[in-house]
Amino acid sequence: MSEPQKNRRLILERRPQGIATHQDVVLREGVVGTPGDGQILIRNHFFSIDPAIRDWMSERPSYLPSIRIGDPVRSTVIGEVLESRHPNFTPGQLAVGIGGWEEYSVADGGYFFPVELQPGDEEQQYLSIYGAVGLTPYFGLLEVGKPKEGETVLISAAAGAVGSLAGQIARIKGCRAVGIAGSDEKCRWIVEELGFDAAINYRTEADMVTAIGRACPQGVDVYFDNVGGEILDATLLNLNKDARIVFCGAISSYNSTEPVPGPYNFWQILARSATVEGYLVSDYLDQFPGGIAQMRQWVSEGRLQYREQIVDGLENTLDAFNLLFDGRNEGKLMVRLPR
């Protein structure tokens, strides 16, 4: 390979308090590294912009270690393998895995998977519908929530990348799908375009307990939660007996600077014999091929719709990331680097 020397990287300079700023995450020029044993060198084509990254920036324990100060911000990426010292990869292949917000990443090959595009596929789909974003609602709803036909499935952040798919999969399985979102436009979109049975705009409802009860007249059997906080509390008062909560995220707390208590209605878990199950899509890695095949079939049949929002340029990554936290993004958010 020709040796690229420069590597623009977004470095975590200090841990953010609240929303991450350009003082916390700083663009620095470095040099491209050389892979050691078991590593690969990848030229990044797309970054996946996900709420969990905010958690990784913080110091508290998480399902991955904190990003170290001075390291590039950790991110799922897709790109081309330039050099490989890992048996799974050869140069020229596409690979998806845990890299960073930088032009080139040197990474452990064990955190990457080779991607073979099928006819009609686009690269970035392996960060959206055929990546963690698509498979998170797939396994979370079907393997953890286990909805039965005719049950009511409530979804928070329902216009988001994960939630919008969760609701459509619930519909495919014969459930009543009710979504919670943050604008009337989003609510219209999930009902009119995606086929949700009902939607709740949490910004305009004074009393979410009542609003959920109205939208879910038979009660809530499965709650697919990406949000936590007050909406989780309101949902707990609407659960049916033996309800299942798929605890998939808690975006309401990711930028918090104070300790965040669990739900005040925690007791209802006992009172309603409900189950809260923490869920990481990475626990289902070995089932990804089957999941992707099913998702691909539903997409080809027109039964699953999804949106991608692509922002161009490494230098715009942090601003794109912060769109996640005020609900301004529309669809699965990714950053594209020039080839």
Q: Report in angstroms how near the CB of residue 245 gets to its own copies at its nearest.
A: 9
**163 scored as a contact of its own copies (CB under 8 A):** no
Shortest separation between residue 264's beta carbon and its own copies, angstroms: 5
> What size, in residues, is the chain?
339
- Binding flag, residue 291, its own copies (CB under 8 A): no
Q: Per rule CB under 8 A, is residue 319 in the interface with its own copies?
A: no
Contact region with its own copies (CB under 8 A), list: 38-46, 118-126, 248-256, 297-305: 248-256
Q: Does 248 bind its own copies (CB under 8 A)?
A: yes
Taking alpha carbons only, the member of 92, 58, 85 closest to residue 74 is: 58
Contact 144, 246 (CB under 8 A): yes
Q: Which of residues 256-275 bind its own copies (CB under 8 A)?
A: 259-275
- CA–centroid distance for 160 within its chain: 9
Which residues touch 259 (CB under 8 Å, ≥6 apart)?
none
Residue 4 or residue 262: which is nearer to its own copies going by CB?
262
Render 44-56 in DSSP notation, one character per residue.
EEEEE--THHHHH
Candidate list 29, 71, 193, 283; residue touching its own copies; CB under 8 A: 283
Of residues 34 and 256, the one with the C-beta less far from its own copies: 256
Q: How far is the CB of 213 from its own copies (least distance, A)?
A: 13
- 3 state DSSP class of 331: coil
Our CB check for its own copies shows the closer of 32 and 274 to be 274
Q: What angle do CA 125, 322, 107 make, to 5 degrees?
A: 55
Interacting positions 184-213 with its own copies (CB under 8 A):
none
220 binds its own copies (CB under 8 A): no
Cα distance between residue 20 and residue 214, in whole Å: 37
CA distance 244 to 266: 14
Per rule CB under 8 A, count of chain residues that contact its own copies: 34
Select from 91, 98, 41 the least CA-distant residue to 75: 98
Cα–Cα distance for residue pair 80/104, rounded to 1 Å: 10
- Three-state DSSP class for 123? helix
End-to-end CA distance of the chain: 15
Task: Determine if 277 is a binding residue for its own copies (CB under 8 A).
Answer: yes
Contact criterion met (CB below 8 Å) for 106 and 41: yes
CB of residue 222 to its own copies, shortest distance in Å = 15
Q: Which residues pair with 96 in a beta bridge?
A: 78, 113
Residue 280 interacts with its own copies (CB under 8 A): yes or no: yes
Nearer to its own copies, 237 or 299 (CB): 237
Q: Using the minimum distance from each CB to its own copies, give the nearer residue, 56 or 126.
A: 56
Residues 24-63 that bind its own copies (CB under 8 A): 60-63
The nearer residue to its own copies, 172 or 280, going by C-beta atoms, is 280
- Indicate the pairing of strand 275-278 with strand 332-336: unpaired
- Residue closer to its own copies (CB basis): 1 or 270: 270
Pick the binder of its own copies from 79, 100, 134, 228 (CB under 8 A).
228
Instruction: Give the residues lining the site for its own copies (CB under 8 A).
Output: 60-63, 228, 237, 247-250, 253, 259-280, 283
